[in-house]
Amino acid sequence: MILPIVGYGDPVLRKMCEEISPEYPNLKDLIANMYDTMYNAYGVGLAAPQIGLAIRLFVIDTEPFSDSEDLTKEEQEQLKGFKQTFINAKMLKEDGEEWSFNEGCLSIPDVREDVYRNERITIEFFDENFNKKTEVYDGLIARVIQHEYDHIEGILFTDKISTLKRTLIKKKLQNIMDGKARPDYKMRFCNKKGR
């Protein structure tokens, strides 16, 4: 089932999310709905707050990045095969050189900015079957995870850009809050009446 994506300005996007247990109601359906919603919006990641739930859950599928000509064959293969559900994730380490990449967010349509992030992460999480894992990721996979992890910490990519850039996109952000953005997927806007 495709769910509406919560737009910039909604308080749920600023919440520090709660951990969940394997008994969380309809968890399998929720995860399936999150993947459906993400694919429908042509996203590579989606966090629970983006569908209005303040819980520590996000899903990722980096396949859309795999056809980039800037990547090696090995990197393309890695991205093509990476699909993962992260429950109760804890970032253990972010290291390596910081590098810039032009990021966007389904909750902030039509806004893209260069964001600096560390090239490598170590993260602990539970998968959809509640098997505990500790993994090291780098490159684009690490970046997508860092972006989604920020969501469950109440952080948006626009928090990581300069004050000047934030000032330049202020009107766009206000338009999203007022429901004037027109992405080609379902959204829920915080200031729009009868949303």
CA atoms within a 13 Å half-sphere pointing along the CA-CB vector of 28 = 1
Q: What's the sign of the alpha-carbon dihedral 135, 141, 145, 146?
A: positive
**16 by DSSP, 3-state: which?**
coil
Beta strands in the chain (DSSP E): 5-6, 45-47, 57-61, 83-105, 108-126, 132-138, 187-188
Instruction: Return the number of other C-beta atoms located less than 10 Å from residue 30's C-beta.
Output: 19
Q: Quick check: is 148 catalytic? A: yes
Catalytic-role residue among 63, 98, 148, 153: 148
CA atoms within a 13 Å half-sphere pointing along the CA-CB vector of 164 = 1
- Looking at the annotation, which residues are catalytic? 148
